[in-house]
Amino acid sequence: MSEPRSKKPLPRPTPETQHFWDGTLAGELRLQRCEDCSKVYFPPRPFCPACASRSVEMFTASGLGTLHSYVINQRAMPDSGFEAPYSIAVIELDEGPRMMTNIVDSPQTPEALVLDMPVEVTFEKLSDDIALPLFRPKAAPSDAAGPRGAS
Amino acid sequence: MTRTRVAIVGAAETTELGKIPDLSVIGLHADAALNALTDAGLRPSDIDGVATAGESPTSIAHYLGITPSWVDGTTVGGCSFMLHVRHAAAAIEAGLCSTVLITHGESGKSRVGAGGFNRPAASLSGQFEAPFGPMGAPTMFTIPVLRYMKDLDLSIEKLANVAVVQRRWASKNPRASFRDPITVDDVLNSRMIAYPFRLLMCCLVTDGGGALILTSAERASDFPTRPVYILGGGESTETPMVSQMEDLTTSKAFRVSGQKAFESSGISHADVDHLMIYDAFAHLPIYGLEDLGFVERGEAGDFIWDGHTDEGGSLPMNTNGGGLSYMHSGMYGMYALQESVRQMRGTAPAQIDGAQISVCHGVGGMFGASGTIVMTNQPS
């Protein structure tokens, strides 16, 4: 039985991007790298945007990055699948590329969303075919043994 | 300075601006076009080149009864009209046509006969931006700004001040939508739209249109208005996705377009008497001043704060009140061009005395594209 379709605007993969969306469904953030000039790039395409080589490979990224910039939207359109306030952010991945996302598992406030803070990917399944790559603050190693880990 | 070969000989906006519920999109194009034809003393049969964005040039030409032999439908967002001016000037110089009509019309507020904003779900922005909930320009165009504020040390007060200065210009303009003076506190106390952007840092949404008519400089003196010569121009694109800008604190499209405009016109920054920088949001004049090279990186907020772009300043900017206070139908570039023409004709409500060179810089999409036009009222 299929899950209820999200009200969010669902992406429609194309042949050139299908591997990315297959990846998010499998819990992986997949990027591409040029086999000639080593450029890592996003969004997906079957050639290198730096040197136009068609020799490119796909790999699974670390899913780690930093919060590069964002806004906090204060009003969502009705029936949009979003509830305000929510952040619309740009993440800089450790591998280099940037991507748009939402920061989740965090208060949606300027105090909680600090530029350059470490974030990690998490996936939200919207339908049988689509999972979105979202990001959440990455707990510092010391936090694991702290109050959150103990509760 | 470069020799001028093409001039703007007709320029007009729609009869009304603001809320125009009795005209559809194509009707706004036509109202502006008819006003520009009257301004130039021409009839549609005198036009042999048509350029437009938002509507197809086929529709506009047919609606107005024009049979063009040169057509440009370049559509790269709100600066499309700067590109049309540049392309038209090249076409006239090359002898492809003699008299070009450029039209704009948009039912931004009333939405009469207007299309939607949706991006196809299979496009790159449909796949990699839309699912994260940006809801129009106020939640997309604004995303780079926190990065700029941190890296270049711009305060929220100086960002807010952009809107304050432009409102002062608007207060001198009877056609401006908002004319009551505002303070930095007013801006910072207005409703939060998308942190850190508050209502008064965002453009208004109105109905309107505008049109321009260009022909060769040799013919320009035959027309009833003071000719405004095209001295140079530039254009570029960067990305359809704001998240994929090379650097969120500077626009590559602005830099390329601006540099081309200065090179082609043979002027220096000190020669510029009047400046328009498309201001859909308060940060755009800051990016524009820096990316066009009027000030160094990180200096634009202070430059505006210190009054240089205000009345009596060294570089009067957005003298119609801008998209923040004058009007903004969606593709504002046409109105920036109209104000540059008025300043060069000497007919602007807030006229800069003795102004001879105007630079008019536009943005398309969310830092997606750019176009820059340099105009002068001095024949060469």
Question: In angstroms, rounded to a whole number, what is the distance separating the alpha carbons of residues B327 and B51?
Answer: 22
Mean pLDDT of chain A: 91
Copy the structure tokens of residue B3: 């020799």
| A90 to chain B, closest Cα gap in Å | 6
pLDDT on residue B3? 80
Q: Which CATH architecture has domain B6-113+204-376?
A: 3-Layer(aba) Sandwich (3.40)
10-residue stretch averages of pLDDT, chain B, 380 residues long: 89 96 94 98 98 96 97 97 98 97 94 76 93 93 98 98 98 96 98 97 94 97 96 97 97 98 98 97 98 98 98 97 94 98 98 98 97 96
pLDDT on residue A46? 95
pLDDT on residue B162? 98
| A33 to chain B, closest Cα gap in Å | 17
Please report which confidence band the pLDDT of residue A145 belongs to, taking 50, 70 and 90 as the band edges.
Answer: very low
Are B139 and A71 an interchain contact pair (Cβ–Cβ within 8 Å)? Answer: yes
Of the residues A16, A40, A69, the best mutation for testing chain B's interface (the one with the most B CB atoms within 10 Å of its CB) is A69
**B109-to-B10, B18, B157, B312, B333 alpha-carbon distances in Å:** 26, 8, 29, 34, 17
Q: Are A98 and B243 in contact, with CB atoms under 8 Å apart?
A: yes
Q: A34: which strand partners? A: A56
Show which residues of B are catalytic. 278, 326
Q: What are phi and psi of B88, to 5 degrees?
A: -65, -40
Domain A18-138 has CATH 3.30.420.40: no
pLDDT on residue B29? 97
Question: In angstroms, rounded to a whole number, what is the distance separating the alpha carbons of residues B269 and B287?
Answer: 16
Mean pLDDT in residue range A14-38: 97
Copy the structure tokens of residue A59: 């790999």
Domain limits, chain B: 6-113+204-376
Are B143 and A71 an interchain contact pair (Cβ–Cβ within 8 Å)? Answer: yes
| Residues in chain A closer than 8 A to B132 (CB atoms) | 88-89, 100-102, 132
Question: Residue B147: closest CA among chain A residues belongs to which residue?
Answer: A69
Q: What is the pLDDT of residues A71-109, one digit of tens each?
A: 999 999 888 899 999 999 999 999 999 999 999 999 999
Strands (DSSP E) contained in chain A are 30-34, 40-41, 56-60, 64-73, 86-93, 98-101, 118-125, 131-137
Q: If we measure between CA atoms, which residue out of B210, B209, B207, B254 comes closest to residue B235?
A: B254
Q: Are B273 and B239 in contact, with CB atoms under 8 Å apart?
A: no
Position with higher pLDDT, A141 vs A84: A84
Element (H, E) at B357: strand B357-364
Question: Residue B150: closest CA among chain A residues belongs to which residue?
Answer: A115
Q: Show Cβ contacts of residue B373 under 8 Å, excluding neighbours closer than 6 positions.
A: B82, B85, B86, B230, B232, B233, B261, B337, B340, B359, B360
Question: With 90 as the cut, is the pLDDT of residue A142 above it?
Answer: no
Q: Are B37 and B60 in contact, with CB atoms under 8 Å apart?
A: no
Please report which confidence band the pLDDT of residue A1 belongs to, taking 50, 70 and 90 as the band edges.
Answer: very low
Question: In angstroms, rounded to a whole number, what is the distance separating the alpha carbons of residues B2 and A74?
Answer: 49
